[in-house]
Structure 1
C-alpha cells in the first residue's frame, strides 16, 4: 500500500528510485492474501477494503469490473483480495509514475540495514549479497509466525503431523478425512482452518483448545451505523474502567432503542488510537491482561456464512471445544499427545494432527529475523515496554536506544501497535501508508 501511495503522490518530478524487497513469487498479496483457497473469506466487507482512503469504493468497483467470483453478502475471498493488491503493485512496477518515481522489485530478503557514519542514510543488504544504498528505509514487515505454543520439549516441532503454519502452501492437504485433529486457538485462523477441513470433506473428530472458549463474533447486517461518541463521552478518560463503563452505558442505551451493539463499537473505530494513547502504560497493561482477548472476539468478527459453517460442524459433533491452555506437546508414534491445563487440572488429549492457530509474534525482542536482529543489536530498533511492536514517533520513525527519532528508518503496520493498538486492518493500514508517503515526500530535496 505504501508503494501504491508513493506512486500516486502529487507533484514532482521526484528524481528518486523506490526499491521493493519481497522474496515471495508475487509482490502484493503477502502472507494473508496468498492462500489459494476460495473458502478463506475476508472478515471485512468489500466496502471497507479499498487501498485508497479517498476512494472508498475502489475495491468494490474492481471486483465488479473483473471476473472475480461473486462475494456472498459482500465478503470476498482472501484470494480475490490478493489478486487486487497484486494488480495494483504490478501496475506500479511496470511503468514510471507520473511524478517521476521509478520502482524496482528485488525478489530477495533483507538481512541487515546499517546507517552511514553521519546517520543520514543507510545501506540495506540482501541475502544475495546485493547492497542498496538508501536515503530512507521503511520496514513493512507484516506479522511474524508465533512462537512454539508448548514446551519444554519441542521435539514435536519436527513431527510430520504438527502444523506450525496453517497458511503454508498445502498445509492441510496431508490430513486424511478421517484423521483426528487438534487446533490450538479459537480465533479467525482457527475458523479458516475449520472451513478448509470442511471443504476437503473432513469427517474425523476435531478438538479446539481455547483459553476463553469463545469464537469470533458474527458480523451483523450491512449498513447499520451509530454516531461516534468519543468527543461527548470518552475524551479525557485515562483509565480502562472509565472507558469500559461509558461504552457499556452506550450499548445499553442503544439496545433499549433496538440498536445492536456492533455499530456502537464500530462508531469508535476512528478514535481507537486516541483512546489507547490516553491510557498510561499501567492502564494499557491492564487492558491487555483483562480485556484484550474479549476485545479480539467482538472487534475482529467473522462473516455470517463462516459462523454458520462452524456451527454446522459443532452441531454434527465433528468439532468440540476444550477449555484450557496447552502446556506440552509430545510425539506419540504417528500421533501427538497434548497436555491441556484448566484451573490447575491437567489432562492429555491425543490427535493425529495438531495445528497451531495462535496469533502472530509481536515482541520485537524475540523476533529472530536477521534484519530485525541487526537493527535491534545496533540499538536502532527498540521493542516497546508491552512487547506489542516497535517504539516510534508520530510519523512511524523508529526511536533508537537513546530515545532519538530516526530520519532514515520508518515502519508501518502491525509494528506500530504500541502507538495505536489497532494497527493490522486495511482501513488503518491504508491511512498509515498515505500519511507516511506524504511525510517521506516532505523530506525529499529536489534539485
Structure 2
C-alpha cells in the first residue's frame, strides 16, 4: 500500500525516485494474510471498507464486480480474492514508471541485514543473495511474526512433526489426517480460520480447543447500522480507562433501547480509537492491557456471521470441544503430544492429541522478535521496542526512535509495529491511512535521484 501511495503522489511532491520492494514470497502484494488458496478464509471486515485508497471507498467493491470474483455476495469476501486485488494493483506499479517519476523494482529476496551508515542519513540493505541496496530511506513493513511457543519448559515439542507453531505456514493443515485428533491453543480469529480450514478439508476427528478465557470472537451484526459519534462531546481528553468504559457502556444501553446493536456503538469509535489510547498515560494503558484488552479484542475484532455459524455447528455436533485453562507444558507422547492444562483453583489435567496447533495470535513484542533484521537494528540501538510489548517506538510520522530518543532520519515503519502510538494498527482501514500519510511525509523529504526501499 505504501508503494501504491508513493506512485500516486503528484509530480510536484516527488521527483524521479527508485523504490526497492523487498519481498521473498512468490508474488508481491498478498503477503502472509491473503496468500492462502482457501476460499473458506473470509475477511473479517466488510468489503465496502477495504478499498486500498481512502478517497475511493468503492474501489475494491467495484473491482469485485468487474472481475466477477464474487458476483453474488460482497459483504465478506474471501482473503484470496483480496490478495489478488492487491497483487494486481502492485503489478501495475512494477510494470512501468509512474507519472511522477517513481520506478519500483521488486527483489524476490529476504532482507538479512540493515546497516545504518555513520552519517545517519542513509542505509544499506543486504539481501539473502548478497545484493546490497544503498537507500536514503528504509521502511519496515514487516507485518506480523509467528506466535511464541505456548509452553516455555522442555521445548522438545517444537521439533515434533505434529506440532504446528505457525498455522499460516504453507501447507500447515495438509498433513493432518481426516480422522486424526487435533488440539488448538486459543479461541481467536486464527482458531476460527483453522477450524474452517479443517472443516473444508473434510476433517472428521475430534478437535479440542484450549483457552484461558473460553471466549470466541463476537459476531458482526447481520444488518449494518450506524450510531452517531460521541467522541468529541464525551470522550475527548478522558485520561482514565474506567471513565471511557463508563461512557461506552452508557451508549451501548442507549443504543439497545433504540434497537441498535452494540456493534454499531463500537464501530462509531473506530476513527478516534488512536486518540482515546493516546490520551491515557502509560499506567492507564498498562491497566487497559491487563484488564480490558482481552475482552476488547473479542468485541472489536469480530467474525463474519457465516463463520460464527459454522463454528457453532461444529460445537453443537460435538466435533469441537472447548476446554478452559492455560497450557503449562507440551510433551511428546506415544500417540502424538500430551498437553498439560491448568485452570485456576483446579488440579492440572492432561489432554492428548495427534496434532497441536498454536492459534494464540501474532507476536507483537519486539523485545522477543528474533528476526535477523529486527535483532540487528535492536542491538545497534536503531530500533527500540516499547515497554508494554506492543511494537516499536516511533514518532508521529512512523520514524523509528533511537536508543537516545531521537527520531531516525532514515528508518520508518508502518502497520502492527506502530501499535504503541495508536493501539489499533492491524486492519486495512488503519493501514491505508498510515500508507497515505507516510507516502506524503517521504514525498516532502525526498530530493531528486534519491532512493527509498
TM-score interval for Structure 1 and Structure 2 normalised by the shorter chain: over 0.9
The answer (yes or no) to whether the contact 1:151–1:329 under 8 Å persists in 2 is no
Q: Secondary structure at the match of 1:72?
A: coil
Hey, what does 1:2 align to over in structure 2?
2
Gaps of 5+ in 1: none
**2-side partners of 1:267 and 1:71: how far apart?**
28
Q: Does 1:248 align with 2:252?
A: no
Hey, what does 2:183 align to over in structure 1?
182
Hey, what does 1:429 align to over in structure 2?
431
Hey, what does 2:267 align to over in structure 1?
266
The answer (yes or no) to whether the contact 2:189–2:303 under 8 Å persists in 1 is yes
Hey, what does 1:155 align to over in structure 2?
156
**What is the Cα deviation at residue 296 of structure 1?**
0.6
Hey, what does 2:290 align to over in structure 1?
289
Hey, what does 1:354 align to over in structure 2?
356
Within-5 A mapping of 1:47-86: 47-70=48-71, 72=73, 74-86=75-87
Within-5 A mapping of 1:236-385: 236-344=237-345, 345-385=347-387
**2-side partners of 1:118 and 1:314: how far apart?**
60
Name whichever of 350-359 and 4-13 sits farther off: 4-13
The answer (yes or no) to whether the contact 2:330–2:340 under 8 Å persists in 1 is yes
Q: Secondary structure at the match of 1:74?
A: coil
Q: Does 1:386 align with 2:388?
A: yes
Q: Secondary structure at the match of 1:409?
A: strand
**2-side partners of 1:176 and 1:110: how far apart?**
36
**What is the Cα deviation at residue 67 of structure 1?**
3.5
Q: Secondary structure at the match of 1:355?
A: strand
The answer (yes or no) to whether the contact 1:9–1:438 under 8 Å persists in 2 is yes
Q: Residues 71 and 274 from structure 1, CA distance in 2 versus in 1: closer, same or farther, beyond 3 angstroms?
A: farther
**What is the Cα deviation at residue 71 of structure 1?**
6.1
Hey, what does 1:32 align to over in structure 2?
33
| TM-score, normalised by the number of residues in structure 2 | 0.97
**What is the Cα deviation at residue 160 of structure 1?**
1.2
| 1:392-432 deviation digits (Å, cap 9, x = unpaired) | 00000000000000111000000000000000000000000
**2-side partners of 1:70 and 1:305: how far apart?**
17
Within-5 A mapping of 1:132-211: 132-211=133-212
From 392, 403, 416, give the equivalent of 2:418.
416
**What is the Cα deviation at residue 73 of structure 1?**
5.6
How many equivalent pairs are there? 447
**2-side partners of 1:117 and 1:195: how far apart?**
51
| 1:272-307 deviation digits (Å, cap 9, x = unpaired) | 000000001110010001111101100011111101
| TM-score, normalised by the number of residues in structure 1 | 0.98
The answer (yes or no) to whether the contact 1:179–1:352 under 8 Å persists in 2 is yes
| 1:85-109 deviation digits (Å, cap 9, x = unpaired) | 1111111101100101100011111
**2-side partners of 1:93 and 1:223: how far apart?**
37
Name whichever of 67-76 and 265-274 sits farther off: 67-76
Hey, what does 1:440 align to over in structure 2?
442
**1-side partners of 2:215 and 2:385: how far apart?**
30
**1-side partners of 2:105 and 2:203: how far apart?**
44
**Greater RCO (Cα-Cα under 8 Å, separation 6 or more):** 2
**1-side partners of 2:344 and 2:415: how far apart?**
36
Hey, what does 2:400 align to over in structure 1?
398
Name whichever of 66-75 and 122-131 sits farther off: 66-75
**What is the Cα deviation at residue 72 of structure 1?**
3.5
**What is the Cα deviation at residue 69 of structure 1?**
3.3
**2-side partners of 1:202 and 1:380: how far apart?**
47
The answer (yes or no) to whether the contact 1:70–1:76 under 8 Å persists in 2 is no
Gaps of 5+ in 2: none
Hey, what does 2:16 align to over in structure 1?
15
| 1:313-342 deviation digits (Å, cap 9, x = unpaired) | 011110111011111000002310000110
**2-side partners of 1:172 and 1:131: how far apart?**
36
**What is the Cα deviation at residue 434 of structure 1?**
0.3
The answer (yes or no) to whether the contact 2:47–2:74 under 8 Å persists in 1 is no
The answer (yes or no) to whether the contact 2:61–2:74 under 8 Å persists in 1 is no
